[in-house]
Structure 1
Amino acid sequence: MNDFQAIADRVELAALQAEFTDAGMTHDLDRFAALFTEDGRWVIPGVEEFGSRAEIRAGIERLQKLWQYFVQNAHPGVLELEGDTATGRTYIQEFGLMRDGNSYANYALYHDRYRRTENGWKFAERVYEVRYLDTTPLEGSAPA
């Protein structure tokens, strides 16, 4: 692989990471699921595990109905390119209020595996790991 291909791959993978957050924040559930390979896995240990694009689509729809509001910020981490596959991490900061009144603020990361497809890079797997969790009630609110 030449240096230009490696640069292009890194740009595409960074865009994929950003698009995950954007699709989730804008409730674009079809786009969210399409970021994964057909057999892609999305794992939130102790909460949910989805083993296909169809499961991911149904799962994100169900999960989003639990939140009154939810905000996620993603920060790029390490990427290791290996031809048509790659691994990496994305650092996450998020907070939100669930419809049951519980609040969450956390710092976490995704451990990612990527695969190049005919439609570009996709997530083959995203495994979520919470590093800090605060369940203190949030004082703010979402705009009306």
Structure 2
Amino acid sequence: MGNEETATASGPALFQVCAQVEIRNVLARIAHASDEGSLDEYGACFTEDARWEMPGLVVRHGRTQICQAGAERRASAIAGPGTHTRHLISTTAVTVQGDEAVAESCWQFYVGTGERPVPASMGTYRDTLRRTDEGWQVAERIVRPG
């Protein structure tokens, strides 16, 4: 029964599955770019008018400000290439409605990954995504530690 349903999935169901996979890949690319990629790779995951929010930090508006925040974290050796840090994302649930979606994920942030990884923080992401000409991109990221 389950295989038969899967084999005949088309139309809206197939769109949902494809969108969910694409969205999970966007979230993974953000994590990879945060640790080892370029700021251009990082920024490409966000819409031009994106919003990034985390308690205790300045809310960033737009791709340029979001990339500037990434550059600041790199300059402070908090994260980025050479810092031996790692962002892990898990238990992601994606809800797609047309060209918009919400993804809720848990994250863990490790330091010292070059020798002996140590968990430094964890929390949740609530990402609102939009399908654009460039594919799915994050329009809003709300980061909640804890």
| TM-score bucket of the superposed structures, by smaller chain | 0.7 to 0.9
Structure 1 partner of 2:63: 53
Structure 2 partner of 1:120: 135
Structure 2 partner of 1:105: 120
8 A Cα contact 1:85 1:114, kept in partner? yes
8 A Cα contact 1:17 1:90, kept in partner? no
Unaligned runs of 5+ in 2: 1-10, 113-117
2:106 to 83, 91, 99: 91
Distance apart, 1:72 and its partner CA: 1.3
- Cα separation, 2, equivalents of 1:9 and 1:104: 31
- Cα separation, 1, equivalents of 2:29 and 2:119: 23
With normalisation by structure 2, the TM-score equals: 0.80
8 A Cα contact 1:14 1:76, kept in partner? no
2:145 to 130, 137, 141: 130
Structure 2 partner of 1:5: 15
Secondary structure of the 1:106 match is: strand
- Cα separation, 1, equivalents of 2:70 and 2:125: 16
Cα RMSD of the aligned pairs, angstroms, is 1.7
- Cα separation, 2, equivalents of 1:65 and 1:96: 16
Q: For residues 46-101 of structure 1, what are the alpha-carbon distances to aligned partners after superposition, in whole Å with 9 as ceiling and x for unaligned?
A: 1232100011111100112212622211114111111000112121111337xxxx
With normalisation by structure 1, the TM-score equals: 0.81
Secondary structure of the 1:67 match is: coil
Unaligned runs of 5+ in 1: 98-102, 132-144
Distance apart, 1:104 and its partner CA: 7.0
AA at the equivalent of 1:60: G
- Cα separation, 1, equivalents of 2:95 and 2:138: 14
Distance apart, 1:27 and its partner CA: 3.7
Structure 1 partner of 2:76: 66
Q: Percent identity?
A: 25
Structure 1 partner of 2:38: 28
Number of aligned residue pairs: 126
